[in-house]
Homo-oligomer: A and B are copies of this chain.
């Protein structure tokens, strides 16, 4: 339908249409085409229409690589999450992605699999791509990561925790306080011998530390710590509950590192006719859908996974927009204990 512009042979991967091509056909210079795209107001309506028409007709797509190289702005934000397989991080990524997309930015995603070294490699690669900003999960990073980030001088938001010494910006909540709050709550409810079920990621460790501190404050024994096996959360929760039931009969409440693991434990109790919370109380973390739907519904810690991502993106773009003065650099999104039937 559209007649071919050049008469060149169809051999080879037909060089992409360039600004020059559009400019030539539209009878203007390439910089005018550039303006039509980047600041349409600065171009006379007539010229603009003509150029726009030509762009559409030729299917011209600006080369953002070249643009980024010249302008030193890529409109790409990179994020490192431990894994996108956990819905809490998936939610965070979703929040970020939505905000970024709505503002003309794109998301480059990396998974660290909870390894700080992989994170370092990812950060290096992202810096190489000259991303405009970077979002990290957690506040614990290798010296190499910090070093790279410092010299690169790009805005960074650390998420999912707080620290007195952030690399740059911060969007999260205190995992330590969350653990302590759940400890206080469980003690208030009358539970005295408490277990913590979770892995050894830094944020889980922080919550355990908070829990321990709370118990200590109440002059109770330190929590029993159970490590859930990796792999399926539901199954890990089941297994942890078996361990609890068979090897720690004195435990009267267990705080799980996330709602899915807790749900697995609930399912195991259901199977064994163990009553919740009479025989053992169960508390989860994150306030996922499953927490309110399972029977009994889970007492848990609500955290704003989606908002963390959205906030991180917003802080980044605010900084990039140059509003350093206004933009806050730390955003404590908080948490809250959600009381339901399980504890």
20 A-B pairs with CB atoms under 8 Å apart are: A16-B152, A61-B124, A61-B128, A66-B69, A83-B94, A84-B93, A84-B94, A85-B87, A85-B90, A93-B109, A97-B110, A98-B111, A101-B111, A106-B108, A106-B110, A106-B125, A106-B129, A107-B108, A107-B109, A267-B293
> For residue A233, which residues in chain B have a CB less than 8 angstroms away from its CB?
289
| Residues 220 to 235 of chain A near chain B (Cβ within 8 Å) | 232-235
Residues of A within 8 Å of B, CB-based: how many? 58
Q: Is B94 touching A111 in the complex (CB atoms < 8 A)?
A: yes
A147 at the interface (CB under 8 A from B): yes
By secondary structure, the A interface counts as: helix
Shortest CB–CB separation between residue A96 and chain B, in angstroms?
Answer: 10
> For residue A83, which residues in chain B have a CB less than 8 angstroms away from its CB?
94
A11 at the interface (CB under 8 A from B): no
> For residue A238, which residues in chain B have a CB less than 8 angstroms away from its CB?
293
A68 at the interface (CB under 8 A from B): yes
Q: Is B84 touching A74 in the complex (CB atoms < 8 A)?
A: no
A153 at the interface (CB under 8 A from B): yes
> For residue A29, which residues in chain B have a CB less than 8 angstroms away from its CB?
none
| Residues 52 to 98 of chain A near chain B (Cβ within 8 Å) | 59, 61-66, 68-69, 74, 76, 83-85, 87, 90-91, 93-94, 97-98
CA distance A127 to B62 in the complex (A): 9
Q: Is B153 touching A14 in the complex (CB atoms < 8 A)?
A: yes
Q: Is A64 touching B235 in the complex (CB atoms < 8 A)?
A: no
Question: Which residue of B has the minimal Cβ distance to A13?
Answer: B153
**Inter-chain pairs besides A61-B124, A101-B122, A106-B110, 14 sampled, C-beta below 8 Å:** A13-B153, A14-B151, A59-B148, A61-B148, A65-B68, A90-B90, A98-B111, A106-B108, A106-B126, A106-B129, A232-B289, A233-B289, A238-B293, A267-B294
